[in-house]
A and B are shown apart, each in its own frame.
Chain A
Amino acid sequence: MTPPRTLGGVPDPDEEELIERLRAGDESAFGSLVTRYHPSMVRVASTFVPSRAVAEEVAQDTWLGVVKGLPRFEGRSSLKTWIFRILVNRAKTTGGREPRTVELDTGDGLGSERFTAAGTWREPPVVWTDDIEDRLAAPEIAARILEVVDQLPESQRQVVTLRDIEGLSSKEVCDVLGISEGNQRVLLHRARTRVRAMLEDDVRRWGK
């Protein structure tokens, strides 16, 4: 299950208790915090830096920043958002990701060939939402989704990872990445559109 989320900075009582324990240096509190967020942090950091190993370093370095900042953490954002903000700042400073030289080969599934001159579907989308779960096993879908997300241009990948995979709100995503809501939406739309197109292709290919 996804960890508890706070909306717009409303304090989560469990989180408050966790923060108290962290401040007191409770080892098991640190253990559960690391278990809960470290893999996500590495995933998010990977969208900024050239390798998994560097992402791992950025995440570890972020943890030190978290320990250091805890006494001053005021709970105006959720703990997760706060941690991600530290992470993204460090990841940006580290940077070094090679700009993509090869264009993404998955399209958005919405080329001009899909619509008539009047703008209606030439061939309407085939219905697959009813039975996708029967056709594709969940781990299979997750692996394919990550594959496609990995191929997205960085900015789209960052937004969709934080928003849809990690479950941050749009406001939190903007806050963490330092982008406008409008920009966030455009990037999110492109990313989701491409992931949808991939799912459609897969369902067509495997579902027969």
Chain B
Amino acid sequence: MTDAKQFETFLRNYQDMVFSTAMRLVANTAEAEDISQEVFLRAFKRFGELGGDPRAGGWLKTVAINLSLNHLTRYRARWSFFSEIFHRAETGEETEIDYASPDNVEENTAASERRVLVDQALRQLPRAQRVPLVLYHLEGMKYEDIAAKLGVSLGKVKTDIFRARAALRKKLGPRLQEEGGSRL
């Protein structure tokens, strides 16, 4: 297989993971797509090392997180104050949510609907709450690491994550408790 073909396969295998990571952090399809593209352009330059490396997924995820956070810091900081005022503009867009692995026929459709609702609720959180929440729950980072990454105090990270959880529960309350221990 040629390098081009190998990279195409590599891109196909990881595109959903990279896009998801960026999308859940920036909550904007076009921006997440730009970030994901940049991730793969960087991966291409190091494809010699990454191509057959089982840790490539981890590398891609780390770069996607870093680029998303850089994007949020550099390009949005100037707008953040007024964007918080025009809250709707800052919170995520409302587009159709499409998952990489379609539900199988046996899966409970109510569960898949709830997943969509969770993703929508996540996008609607203010950036200051969404980003630490995603880093903690989806990316498995520790509070201390999130604080260091975002350049804020540990207390702020904990408060923002707590508020984000409370906001999610408020939006999803009944659905969160519907099936108790079952996965959404």
Does A pair with B? no
